[in-house]
Every structure is written in structure tokens, then in C-alpha cells.
Amino acid sequence: MQRLSNHDKVYKCWLRYAAVTDPEKLQDYRKWCGELVSPAAAGVVLESAVEELQQGILSMIGMGPQNSQSPSASHYILLGTRGQSKAIDEALSSLSASSADSYILKTLPLDGRKCLLAAGRSDRGTLYAAFHLLRLMQMGSTLEDLDIQESPLNGLRMINQWDNMDGSIERGYAGQSIFYENNRIISDLSRIKDYARLLSSTGINGISINNVNVHHHETLLITQPQLSEVARVAEVLRKYGIVTFLSVNFASPMQVGGLLTADPLDEEVRTWWKNAVKEIYRVIPDFGGFLVKADSESRPGPFTYGRNHVDGANMLAEALQPYGGTVIWRCFVYNCQQDWRDRSTDRARAAYDHFTPLDGGFHDNVILQIKNGPMDFQVREPVSPLFGALPSTNQVLELQIAQEYTGQARHVCYLVPQWKEVLEFDTFARGEGSDVAKVVSGSLFGGKLGGIAAVSNIGNDANWTGHVLAQANLYGFGRLSWNPQLTSEQIAREWIYLTFGTEPKLVEVILNILLNSWQTYENYTAPLGVGWMVNPDHHYGPNVDGYEYSRWGTYHFADRDGIGVDRTVKSGTGYTAQYPKPHADRYESPDTCPDELLLFFHHVPYTHKLRSGKTVIQHIYDTHFAGAEQAASFLESWLTLEGSMDAQQFENVRGRLQEQAQHALEWRDQINTYFFRKSGIADEHGRTIY
Ligand SMILES: CO[C@H]1[C@H](O)[C@@H](O)[C@H](O)O[C@@H]1C(=O)O
């Protein structure tokens, strides 16, 4: 098991609170931050806000604020929530947004003094205000004339851990779990506290703490004695406004309860769940609910009993309903026993085919969790047509921060631009402007619950994410789930300032790497939306036919004449018809299909001309040569930063970029050689193809 050695310090990431060196700023911050006025009998979340402000300010300006209940200094910070002071109530009444998580950061004259008000609609909102203030200071912003109102656009901003109790993490690339070891919840919760701080500072308010593939030990988490251990974790997370969820095994009534069935319509089964939930809420009164992977990749589910997902989800929803709990039911349901010869079964169709007929049937404390694309977190996929097709169902978008198919923790791949494309995709469900962001926030269809969830990329590595630059994805997810309108560049800049400082050259180099990394990764890996082409099981590294003859339904169908999957209505699987117009028409014809998705929707000859004017085969060669060069240039530019940051961080990224540059050559050559051999068509530019 990987352990931290004594000299490995655990990184504070974007909560580093580096000492302010600019004399003017120091003076400004010292003036404002000498005194912190907060209510006496605060709850645990407000206590965290005070603690965070105390420590952050001390670390940045060398003196912590005096804590008091009424001001005595000329300038002071006033922290609190509704009902705690007249000034706070007045300020909050001007907040236009309705979310309980919204807050105000504002400087104003008050009773002859200057007050910096950090106030939220709820304790959690107030904590967010504190983190925002600390962020401003870390980025060197002035505190004069603040007038900020913030409100999240998504209710649920959630992290999914795919952690197992033996300490391993499914698709984890940054060490072992910080939650479990040896089939128990970890005894020292300090790392979980730091994680909670990191998440909360970006606005995350929910987390499911175990893998959606719920194995033997994890199945027991919902019962004693493990449940009391879960409560210890929930207590730490609660202090940072984060609600705890568990992934559950649909067959729990059999595996834990000893029943002979898990049929969702069986009375005994229903009673078993009700009792289990009652006990959970006795121990964790603010428990969030269940995340469920059912009838997917051999996990148990209602299909075994001839029931459907409405039956399964609603049974759990009824058990949770009296306590305000939620069922988050995943739509990643497909046939994983396919035969490559069968061209009519199409995995891309599965989620839509399974779930659209069920729209309107789910209870209102059920949320369907839908992966961004119809397949599985590839570097490029179309957006799932399920968004927009479930007007009467709560929905959550599922993203993957862990870069399972995008270089894991070894290649840099800043995914915020990809996520933004998903959120901006127009479903046309209520006419033009019905983008995914509005669907999942609930604003388009008026859904009660909604938001964004993502699979985490952290482990117990000293730097949390294996690759230091992969921290930007975790940070970016939180910020984007709070406000999908932030740009990729804004988020990247913030992360760089907070993590490395504001020195212009350093910022420019890192920004350039981050913003070009997704395109680069796409360039040297699977072309034109075709996906996969990776080694089976661990999914790292090139293997063009790695999944071509297996049962997972992930084919590219390359032969000597052409490549791609025909998903048209005219001659293929009919998947294009799952989209509304104009997407359906655009995807249906190879002439109008966007280049980057061509092979996802069409099987074409290598000589097919793309909209860019290049042939498919020449595009493959060109992008692969270009991608490998870009990867090499990332390393080169990084090397210019030596000496401008903590040496361990510098070395971590240097080593990873070096591996990436080398590995990009392997990708380039494997892909180019494969297609040169298949097509027999030479590179127009006569470059070396092995
Ligand atoms: C948790 O299982 C994962 C599995 O490891 C992963 O390879 C696949 O992408 O998706 C599954 C899922 O999302 O359920």
C-alpha cells in the first residue's frame, strides 16, 4: 500500500494561503482583517468559516484577526447569516437569488466604522462567502469597494468517490483511498477534513463516499457497526456544508438482510429498506441518500425480477422520502455482452432507449444521473441525447474528473473546456436556447432537484491528484458546477493564481499548457470521435484493436476500406434519430456532421473528405504528428519554469510531461502505422510512418 513518507508534505493546493509580499496589499489586508465579528453561538459550519478565516488570514498577512462579538476597530469583517444582525439581514434582503447557498461580500460604512460583510442566506452560504474572501486575497484583489452577490446555478454540486473499502480506488490514479483501509473506515480523518475544505471552497455540497460498484464490504456500510463509522465521516464533511451519500447495492436485502429476493415490489423487501433507512437517519440525521448503479455491468437491479427502473428507484425513494433523502439513479445501463458481428445493437442508444419511456414515472425525490456522452467518458463523444428527452424527471449530469480515458494522472488534460461544451449543448427541448446547463439545473423543465456530479480524481498522494496539473480539473469542476457560465480560461487563471501565484510568465506558460491540453490529447489519440483504441482493462495507452472484438460494444469497425460506426437512420443503428432537429439532420449526413464526430456517426472510406478539406487518412496522420509535437512543447515550456515554484511540484510535472511527450510518440506511431497498413495510403508529406 502506498504511504506518505515523512518528507512528503501534503499539498494545500488552492488553499495554500501564501504570505502576501506586496507592501501595499499587505497594508490594505491588515487594515481590513484586524477584527472578525461573528455571532457567539454559531453552528458547526459557521465555526468552520471562522476557523478558515483565522488560519487563512494569519498565514497570508502574519496576523490573525481578533475574534469579537461587537466591533471596536475602524475596519472589521462581519460574518454571519440571517437573523444574526440587522446589517446582515438588510444586506441579504437585497439578494435577488433564492438559493440558500447564496451570499454577499460587501464593504459598507456602518456605525461610523468600515465593515466588510461576509454573509450567506444559510450557514453554508456564509462559509462560501468566507472562502470567496480568502480567494480574493490569495489572488491579490483589493478589498475596497467590494460588492459581490453570488448564487449557485445548480442545487446539487456533487462528488462521487469510486473508493473501495480495501483502500483501492476504481479508476483512481493518485494513490490509495483517503476514506478506507483494510476494509474499514480510516481512523485518522484529517485528510478527509482537508479534502472537505478543498471541495467546499469551490462550492461542492454533496459527496457519495463509496464506489458505485458496491462489493461485499461496502454493502455493509448501510448497517451497523459500519454505519456509525460512516457517521464519523459525515460529521467531518458536515462541518464544511457537504452532505454524505452512500452508493448502495440493490441486492442488499438479500446480502445483508438474508431475504430470498430483492424484488422492489415485494413487501418484505420494501420493509427491509424502510427499516434500513430509518436506522441510517437515526445515526446521520442529515444523510443525503443513495447513489445507485443497477442493472449495469453485471450489478444487480430490478431487471432480475422483471421490474423496471421506476419500480427500483421509487422503492428506495419511498423509504427515503420521510427524511428528505434522495435517490440518485444512474442511467449508465447497457448490454455489455455484445458480439462485434451484430451491427444492430448500439451501446450509444442504450440509455435513451431504457429511460425515455419511463419519463414522468419517478418520484420527485429521484434524480437520474446521466453521463455526459452516450458511451463512457471518451476524449470526444457527442452529448447524450437523454438530456432534453426527460422533461418530467429530475436530472443530474455526470462527468469524470478522474481521467480514465484521457491520460489518467500521467498526461495533462484540462477537461473544463470539454465540460463546457457539454453544458452549452442545445437540446432544443423548449426551442432554441435549451442548453444542458438549464436542463440539469432544473430551470428548463422546472425540476425540483438537479445539478452536476463528477467522479473524483483524488487519492492519498501528497499532491492529491498524482499529477499536480490535474488539480485544476478538481478545482474547475467545483467552480463550474457552481457557475457553468465561468469560462475555461477564467477558471484556469484562478487555479494558477491560487496554486502558483501571479507571476506573469509562469501564469502564461501554465495557462497555455492547460488550455491546449484537451485538443492535444485528442490529436494524438483516437481520431474524429471514434473513441476507445486503448488497452483493455486499465485503459491506458494505445491499442487500436484493444476493444474491437470484445463484448463491450465499443467498436470502430476499421477495415481496409474505411472506418467508423454507421449510426444513421438511413443505413445504420438509427441513433441519430434520438436527437431533435437540427442535430438529427446535422449528424445524419456525413456532409454536415461536425468533423470531430464524423466517425462516431458514420462509416466512411479513408479517402472521405472532411469539412476541413482534408481526407480522413490525412487528418489522422496530421493530427498525430501535430499532437506529439504539442506534447513535446509542453515539456519544453515547463522547463523554463524551473526555480519559480516549489521544487517538488516542479519535478512532479516535469516527470509527467516527459512521460507524456514520450508516450505521445507511441500513440502517434501505433495509430499512424495501423492506418497506413490498413489503407495503403501514404502520408502526403512523406513523414516517417513505421
Ligand atoms: C465504476 O465502474 C465504471 C468502470 O470502472 C469504468 O471503466 C466504466 O467507464 O464505467 C463504470 C461506471 O461508470 O459504472
Contact 292, 330 (CB under 8 A): yes
Q: Say yes or no: 539 and 395 in one domain.
A: no
- Domain membership of residue 402 (yes or no) is yes
How far does residue 671's CA lie from ligand 1's centre (Å)?
Answer: 25
Residue 2: what pLDDT?
47
Distance 540 CA to ligand 1 centre (A): 14
List phi, psi (to 5°) of 17: 50, 55
Q: Are 116 and 146 in contact (CB under 8 A)?
A: yes
Per the structure, the count of domains in the chain is 3
Q: Is residue 597 part of a domain?
A: no
Pairing relationship of beta strands 604-605 and 562-563 according to DSSP bridges = antiparallel
* DSSP letter, residue 14: G
- For ligand 1, whether the C-beta of 162 sits within 6 Å is yes
**Alpha helices in 165-322, H assignment, sequence order:** 190-201, 216-219, 226-238, 252-255, 267-283, 309-320
Binding site membership of 425 for ligand 1 (Cβ less than 6 Å):
no
User: For residue 440, is it within any domain?
Assistant: yes
Buried-state track 376-409, b at ≥16 Cβ within 10 A, e below 16:
bbbbbbbbbbbbbbbeebbbbbbbbbbbbbbbbb
Q: Are residues 228 and 139 both part of a single domain?
A: no
Catalytic residues: 297, 376, 404
> Cβ(132) to ligand 1 under 6 A?
no
CATH of the domain at 165: 3.20.20.80
The CA distance from 641 to 48, in Å, is: 36
CB 494 less than 6 A from any atom of ligand 1: no
Q: Does the pTM of the predicted model rise above 0.95?
A: yes
| Alpha helix (H) residue ranges in 386-503 | 416-424, 436-441, 471-482, 488-500
The verdict on the CB of residue 171 being under 6 Å from ligand 1 is yes
C-alpha cell at 272: 427491509
135 and 186, same domain (yes or no) = no
Kind of pairing, strands 103-110 and 147-150? antiparallel
Q: Ligand 1: does its nearest atom lie under 6 Å from the Cβ of 293? A: yes
Closest atom, ligand 1, to C-alpha of 297: 14
* Pair 146, 161 in one domain: no
Do 132 and 169 lie in one domain? The reply is no
Cβ of 402 less than 6 Å from ligand 1: no
Low pLDDT (below 70) residues in the chain = 1-8
Q: Which of 215, 347, 375, 376 to mutate to test the pocket of ligand 1 (most atoms within 8 A of CB)?
A: 376
In this prediction, residue 42 carries a pLDDT of 80
**Residues 408-451: tens digit of each pLDDT:** 999 999 999 999 999 999 999 999 999 999 999 999 999 999 99
In a domain, 507, yes or no: no
298 CA distance to ligand 1 centroid (A)? Answer: 11
Residue 672 belongs to some domain of the structure: yes
Half-sphere exposure of 415 (CA within 13 A, CB side): 31
Ligand 1 atom having least distance to the Cα of 539? 7
Atom of ligand 1 nearest to the CA of 296: 14
Nearest CA, atom 2, ligand 1: 213
CA 562 to chain centre: 35
Is residue 489 within 8 A of residue 511, CB to CB? The reply is yes
Ligand 1 pocket test target in 171, 208, 330, 378 with most atoms within 8 Å of CB: 171
- Does residue 407 share a domain with residue 290? yes
- Calculate how far, in angstroms, residue 377's C-alpha sits from the geometric centre of ligand 1: 9
Contact 257, 220 (CB under 8 A): no
Give the dihedral of Cα atoms 337, 340, 344, 348; nearest 10 deg.
70
Residue 577 within any structural domain of the chain: no
Cα–Cα distance for residue pair 387/429, rounded to 1 Å? 9
Q: From the CB of 371, is ligand 1 less than 6 Å away?
A: no
Q: Please indicate, yes or no, whether residues 146 and 168 belong to a single structural domain of this protein.
A: no
Cell of 589: 449526413
pLDDT computed for residue 4 by the predictor:
53
Cα-to-centroid distance, 404 and ligand 1 (Å): 9
Residue 417: is the preceding peptide bond cis (ω within 30°)?
Answer: no
Rounded CA gap, 660 and 655, in Å? 9
3-state SS assignment for residue 10: coil
Compute the distance from residue 368 Cα to the ligand 1 centre, in Å. 17
d(C-alpha 180, C-alpha 246), whole Å: 14
Pick the last residue of a domain from 486, 513, 545: 486
Looking at the fold, whether 98 and 189 belong to one and the same domain comes out as no
Q: How far apart are the first and last CA of the chain?
A: 40
Looking up residue 130, the CATH number of its domain turns out to be: 3.30.379.10
* CATH code where residue 675 lies: 3.90.1330.10
Centroid of ligand 1 to alpha carbon of 56 (angstroms): 38
From the alpha carbon of 293, which atom of ligand 1 is closest?
A: 14
Neighbours of 179 (CB within 10 A): 23
Q: Tell me, using a 6 A CB cutoff, whether residue 54 lines ligand 1.
A: no
CA distance 117 to 88: 7
Looking at residue 6, its pLDDT comes to: 45
Asked whether residue 330 falls in the same domain as residue 444, the answer is yes
Does 582 sit behind a cis peptide bond, omega within 30 degrees of 0 on the bond before it? yes
Strands 206-208 and 156-160, bridge-based pairing: parallel
Tell me how far the alpha carbon of residue 50 lies from the centroid of ligand 1, in angstroms: 39
Residue 165 placed within a domain: yes
Nearest-atom index, ligand 1, CA of 398: 13
- Take residue 507 and report the three cell numbers written for it: 501564469
Residue 626 lies in a domain: yes
CB 332 less than 6 A from any atom of ligand 1: yes
Task: Assess whether the C-beta atom of 376 lies below 6 angstroms from ligand 1.
Answer: yes
How far CA 481 is from CA of 165, 219, 258, 329, 362, in Å, comes to: 28, 29, 40, 19, 24
Q: Kindly state whether residues 357 and 372 are assigned to the same domain.
A: yes
> Are residues 542 and 433 both part of a single domain?
no
Domain end, chosen from 107, 123, 150, is at 150
- Indicate whether residue 212 lines ligand 1 (CB < 6 A): yes
Q: Which long-range contacts (CB under 8 A, 24 or more apart) does 187-192 make?
A: 189/232, 189/233, 189/236, 191/10, 191/460, 192/233, 192/236, 192/237
CA separation for the pair 659, 655 (Å, rounded): 6
Instruction: Please identify, among 150, 178, 209, the residue that sits at the C-terminal boundary of a domain.
Output: 150
Q: C-alpha grid cell for residue 252?
A: 442488499
Per-residue confidence (pLDDT) for residue 9, from 0 to 100: 83
**What would the DSSP string read from start to end of 487-513?**
-HHHHHHHHHHHHH---HHHHHHHHHH
Cβ atoms within 10 Å of 44's Cβ, excluding its own:
13
**ipTM of the predicted structure?**
0.99
**CA 472 to ligand 1 center in whole angstroms:** 22
**Distance from C-alpha of 506 to C-alpha of 498, rounded to nearest angstrom:** 12
Q: Which atom of ligand 1 has the smallest separation from the CA of 371?
A: 13
Query: Of 548, 532, 530, 534, which Cα lies nearest the Cα of 599?
Result: 530
3-state secondary structure of 534: strand
CA–CA dist 362, 356 (Å, integer): 12
Residue type, 160: N
Q: Give the residue, by CA position, lying nearest to ligand 1 atom 8.
A: 376
Q: Is 213 close to ligand 1, i.e. is its CB under 6 Å away?
A: yes
By residue range, what is the domain housing residue 645?
A: 524-565+603-679
Q: Are residues 535 and 468 in the same domain?
A: no
Q: Is residue 494 a contact partner of residue 139, using CB atoms and an 8 Å limit?
A: yes
Peptide bond before residue 71 is cis, with ω within 30 degrees of 0 = no
Q: How many residues does this entry show for the chain? A: 690
